[in-house]
């Protein structure tokens, strides 16, 4: 990994440089090392004397002053000679995956040894995603060692002050009271939050309550070995999820308005309904995450013989640009991943069990109805309703473009192996497709496996003229007794 004079490895005290921990300008450059290196290379070469085109993060932290920007580049990036005695050790991931450059820095406070990647998450460009990876299950835990100087939070009352004043926060065996959000929206730039032990949540019968909310710039969320985030789902599960029944939190872990941030090595169990709600983010890296809702498979006294957990999506992604999920393991009862809007999204290396598969949609009738550039690669979908699917809402408008499903294997699929439908109304299919949402540029490559029972191996129901440019290479799904039903292309279903 190129170091770009990695800031945390050599924080200088010479040349009159301030301690980066106590100065916002220096802290911004330390916490965003790759971005700082790229900016300073141009800044010092061109001898820029105005603040036009300076990244907003640095411009704000450095008070809009050219001399502060110049000093930060000199002190923290371009070769100052001293080393602060108390500076933390630079972090290097052991993974050899060629992630986007901003993903190479893990943390300035933690030592992190990544597990071997189950996918080969590459540059994030769809055509460069490997087709040879095999998915391991579940994800191997990362090794995380908390550095000195951490603010350890063991009670809810300590949380707000830690978020306001610390950049290295450990949440240790934290028990959240009812109606109290684990609120990480005020994190300082570059903060690292580590979950340690067991995090629990009191019962809050409120559809609008979010147990965890996160936002910020250049933040990292991680978990130590053996930690568990226990969502208390059993207190809510009634077989109806967010469709009815008792009131329950609709989103468990909200990630919104993050910039250049990472969520790695988390272990989450028993969330009430939708787990991760990912909205309004830019350049978000999520990896080595285990979502285990297997306890919700069994019926309970309220579920009328059905699985008690319902609407338990793993990852719902919307209105975000440049999001990467890698080395993910999910056992749930609804969509493993659902992308409803956004661009440049890569899911590479994922195992999905028991849910509704890898989904685009549903699209249409929302505030943002554009999906452009989504890749699902190196995936296994097991004992689920669907394998891969795209669904749009009847009588609405929108765009789905440049979608790739590559190296996806499936088994035990009970409804649709490969599914594209444009007839959803009130959450279900009508059999009457509409063409207000266009679907174009969809590639299915090496999508293989088996369906079972009365399932359709292929089901494509497009509106009049609204589907175009579908490509099939190495596609073979067998076993479903309903075979295939495809009204697009004119040649019919893949053979």
Catalytic residue positions, numbered? 334, 356
Query: Cα dist. 234→18, 253, 271, 310 in Å?
Result: 51, 17, 8, 11
- Decide: helix, strand or coil at residue 182: strand
Asked if residues 455 and 427 have their Cβ atoms less than 8 Å apart, the reply is no
Please spell the DSSP secondary structure of 271-331, one letter per residue: -SSEEEEEES-EEEEEEEEEEE-GGGGS--TTTTTS-S--S--SEEEESEEEEEEEEEEEE
Cα separation, 476 vs 376, in Å, equals 17
- Single out the residue of 107, 88, 122, 84 nearest to residue 33, CA to CA: 107
Residues 129-162 as b/e (b if ≥16 CB within 10 A, e otherwise) read bbeebebbbbbbbbebebbeebbbbeeeeebeeb
φ and ψ at residue 406, rounded to 5 degrees: -135, 130
Cα separation, 417 vs 384, in Å, equals 9
How far apart are the two ends of the chain, measured CA to CA in Å? Answer: 44
Cα R_g (the chain), whole angstroms: 23
Asked if residues 381 and 350 have their Cβ atoms less than 8 Å apart, the reply is no
Asked if residues 341 and 371 have their Cβ atoms less than 8 Å apart, the reply is yes
HSE of 203, CA atoms in CB hemisphere, 13 A: 8
Please spell the DSSP secondary structure of 220-256, one letter per residue: EEEE-TT-EEE--GGGT--S-GGGSSS---SEEEEEE
HSE of 403, CA atoms in CB hemisphere, 13 A: 29
Cβ partners under 8 Å of residue 197, min gap 6: 172, 173, 174, 224, 226, 227, 228
Query: Cα dist. 219→88, 182, 295, 453 in Å?
Result: 16, 16, 31, 46
Asked if residues 342 and 323 have their Cβ atoms less than 8 Å apart, the reply is yes
Cα separation, 449 vs 18, in Å, equals 59
């Amino acid at each position: 990994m190129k170091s770009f004079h990695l800031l945390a490895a050599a924080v200088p005290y010479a040349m009159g440089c301030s301690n980066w921990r106590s100065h916002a300008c220096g802290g911004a450059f330390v916490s965003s090392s790759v971005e700082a290196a790229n900016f300073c290379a141009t800044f010092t070469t061109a001898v820029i004397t105005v603040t036009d085109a300076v990244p907003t993060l640095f411009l704000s932290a450095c008070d809009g002053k050219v001399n502060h920007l110049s000093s930060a580049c000199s002190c923290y990036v371009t070769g100052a000679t001293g080393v602060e005695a108390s500076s933390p050790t630079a972090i290097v991931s052991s993974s050899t995956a060629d992630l986007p450059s901003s993903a190479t820095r893990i943390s300035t406070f933690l030592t992190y040894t990544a597990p071997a990647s189950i996918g080969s998450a590459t540059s994030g460009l769809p055509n460069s995603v490997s087709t040879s990876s095999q998915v391991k299950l579940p994800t191997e835990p990362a090794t995380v060692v908390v550095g000195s100087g951490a603010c350890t939070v063991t009670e809810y009352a300590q949380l707000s002050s830690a978020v306001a004043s610390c950049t290295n926060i450990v949440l240790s065996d934290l028990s959240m009271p009812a109606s109290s959000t684990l609120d990480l929206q005020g994190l300082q730039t570059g903060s690292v939050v580590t979950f340690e032990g067991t995090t629990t949540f009191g019962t809050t019968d409120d559809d609008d309550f979010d147990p965890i909310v996160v936002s910020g710039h250049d933040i990292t969320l991680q978990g130590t070995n053996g930690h568990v985030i226990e969502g208390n789902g059993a207190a809510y599960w009634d077989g109806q999820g967010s469709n009815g029944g008792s009131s329950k939190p609709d989103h468990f872990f909200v990630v919104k308005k993050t910039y250049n941030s990472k969520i790695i090595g988390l272990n989450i169990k028993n969330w009430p309904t939708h787990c991760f709600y990912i909205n309004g983010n830019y350049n978000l890296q999520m990896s080595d995450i285990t979502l285990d809702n297997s306890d919700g498979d069994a019926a309970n006294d309220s579920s009328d013989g059905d699985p008690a957990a319902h609407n338990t999506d793993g990852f719902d992604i919307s209105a975000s640009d440049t999001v990467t999920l890698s080395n993910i393991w999910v056992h749930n009862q609804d969509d493993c991943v659902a992308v409803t809007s956004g661009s440049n999204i890569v899911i590479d290396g994922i195992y999905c069990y028991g849910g509704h598969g890898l989904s685009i949609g549903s699209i249409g009738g929302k505030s943002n109805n554009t999906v452009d550039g989504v890749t699902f690669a190196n995936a296994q979908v097991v004992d689920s309703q669907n394998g891969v699917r795209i669904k749009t809402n009847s009588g609405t408008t929108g765009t789905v473009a440049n979608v790739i499903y590559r190296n996806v294997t499936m088994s035990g699929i009970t409804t649709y192996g490969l599914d594209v439908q444009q007839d959803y109304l009130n959450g279900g299919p009508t059999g009457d497709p509409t063409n207000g949402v266009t679907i174009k540029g969809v590639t299915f490559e090496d999508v293989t496996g088996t369906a079972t029972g009365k399932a359709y191996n292929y089901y494509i129901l497009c509106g009049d003229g609204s589907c175009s440019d579908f490509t099939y290479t190495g596609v073979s799904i067998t076993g479903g007794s309903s075979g295939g039903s495809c009204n697009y292309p004119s040649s019919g279903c893949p053979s």
